[in-house]
Amino acid sequence: MRVLFCLLWVGGLFAGLNWATQWAGMMAAPRYFASPENRWEELYFDDLPNWMLPLNSPGVVDGFYQGIWSGVPWGAWLGPIFWAGSIALAITAIGLGLTALFQKQWAQHERLVYPLAEVSLELTEGFDRKPGWPAFMQNKAFWAGFFIAALPLLWNIAEYFIPDFPRISIFDPMFGRTGRRGAPLSRYLPPFAFSYRILPTLMGFTFLCDLNILFSIWSVYLVGLGAQYAMNRVGFTVGMSGQEADAGVIVNLFSNGAMLGLALWAIWAARGHLKRVWRQVRSPVAGETSETMILSPRSTLLVLAGGLIYMAFWLYQSGNSPSTLVLWMAAFWIGLFVSMKLVAATGFAYLFPFWAGGTTILGDMFVGTRNMSTPTLVSTHMVNHRLLAGWRVPTALPNIERTMARSTKTNRLIWIGVLLGVIIGAYYTVWLCYNWGGASFHSWALEGSARERYNIIAGAVGDTDRSVPDMEKTGVYLLGTLGALIFAVLQARIPWWPIHPMGLMCAFIFWTFS
């Protein structure tokens, strides 16, 4: 049961809105929606990474959105599926290397609780013995919690068969059929500053989370709202004339800096463990207990290096310059590394690092768009979480290793799950669109998200007033780094200190409260 669960956990990270739907839209949209009005073809079509897009053959993109019954042109899509799968394997390799490198430190030395894995282990404990049920399932409190969460979901099943059947909408998404949950607080705050959604499963996982972290998330969020209100109210900005950062950009810079601080602290806290790993890489001793999990120390280093090198070449071929490539990968893996650790600590599965556009912030701040070529601008804005396959996998890997409890199948299971997820997700999405017409679904993921992204690229390429490196914005970024480091030291040294540095990273994420 645990093997099947983990296989579905990995493979399911590629389905639907997680990746496949938005990826398919990003692949087909540029040639289908290009027009004289949006000037896409004029501005950057010559600089698109065509090797990752479907072949520009007659009927390929038109059939994708309008539907054809003569068969899917799989020959045009083999290239995109292959390159998507290859980068997914590279991202998985890096995530697997980081998991192998830090898992022992996090599990044994820092005592992270792994709520996602812990609940999975408890739910399957005892299934191989009589009577075949975990002991806690005989507790009345368990069944009370189960029915509170299950009854609205079971009730709403009738709606699939009877469209007018009254619906219990208490667990609906923030943007549901009943409209957005919440209310605007002020014109000086983001429109989603006060929104909510009730998620029983998330509440169950975060029940095991440290109280300091939970307190930090909501308390620092309120402080962040106050800061945004004050900056917007007085018109406070930072940056050079003509490229000032408003309150929204300032908080993004600060939060991305806090992510860097959390990453630096995680490495510093593990310095002793990392020294032992390096000693085992250089001169392994027969019979000595390995300091890495899943992989041997040398295999860990090889897998990590191989994934990073391949990803660097993949990004370079997509159009990145060497300088922006380094900054892009730094922002990408800082965010993922921090999320890997904090998901293991909190069970908050909605914690992912791309809400703040971190992969473009560092390039704009340290290089400046004035110093970027058109292929670089296209690549830095096009290659993001909507296009990259497998970016959700690394945060799941520490929990999967914990769930599998040192099983020899873990390594193989992860690779199989990734390959199946990419192939099945891509195959089914492309097949569905050609058979029924992608436009007929009226899906934001297939159309809206891709059009939005390519319009952003057109704006960046066509902008005549481009940015240059800005020390004031760099100062805000480093202030977030310093703040996270100070809070981490205070939490480690002062027993009563209530604020976890994670709060600084989440201070401006409205998704945390939706």
Please tell me the predicted confidence (pLDDT) of residue 1.
83
- Indicate the helix (H) or strand (E) that contains 310: helix 297-318
In sequence order, what DSSP letters do the residues of 475-502 get, joined into one string? HHHHHHHHHHHHHHHHHHH-TT----TH
In sequence order, what DSSP letters do the residues of 391-439 get, joined into one string? TTHHHHHHHHHHHHTT-TTHHHHHHHHHHHHHHHHHHHHHHHHHHH-GG
Please tell me the predicted confidence (pLDDT) of residue 177.
64
The verdict on residue 37 lying in a domain is no
Please tell me the predicted confidence (pLDDT) of residue 180.
66
Q: Quick check: 407 pLDDT over 70? A: yes
Please tell me the predicted confidence (pLDDT) of residue 386.
84
The verdict on residue 103 lying in a domain is yes
**Least confident among 221-235, 269-283, 305-319, 494-508:** 494-508
Q: In the numeric block, which tokens belong to residue 296?
A: 């041997």
The verdict on residue 435 lying in a domain is no
| Entry pTM | 0.90
| C-beta of residue 190 within 8 angstroms of C-beta of residue 248 | yes
SS3 assignment, position 175: strand
Q: Quick check: 318 pLDDT over 60? A: yes
**Least confident among 112-116, 181-185, 444-448:** 181-185
The verdict on residue 6 lying in a domain is no
Q: Quick check: 302 pLDDT over 90? A: yes
The verdict on residue 329 lying in a domain is yes
Please tell me the predicted confidence (pLDDT) of residue 221.
83
- Whole-number Å distance between alpha carbons of 146 and 326: 47
**C-beta neighbour count of 132 within 10 angstroms:** 8
The verdict on residue 29 lying in a domain is no
The verdict on residue 508 lying in a domain is yes
Pick the most confident of 74-78, 122-126, 208-212.
74-78
Total residue count of the chain as it appears in this document: 514
- Indicate the helix (H) or strand (E) that contains 315: helix 297-318
Q: Quick check: 159 pLDDT over 90? A: no
Peptide bond just before 131 cis, omega within 30 deg: yes
* Residue 377 domain boundaries: 46-52+86-132+207-422+441-513
Average pLDDT over residues 299-316: 95
The verdict on residue 296 lying in a domain is yes
- How many structural domains comprise the chain? 1
- Whole-number Å distance between alpha carbons of 270 and 341: 12
Average pLDDT over residues 179-194: 73
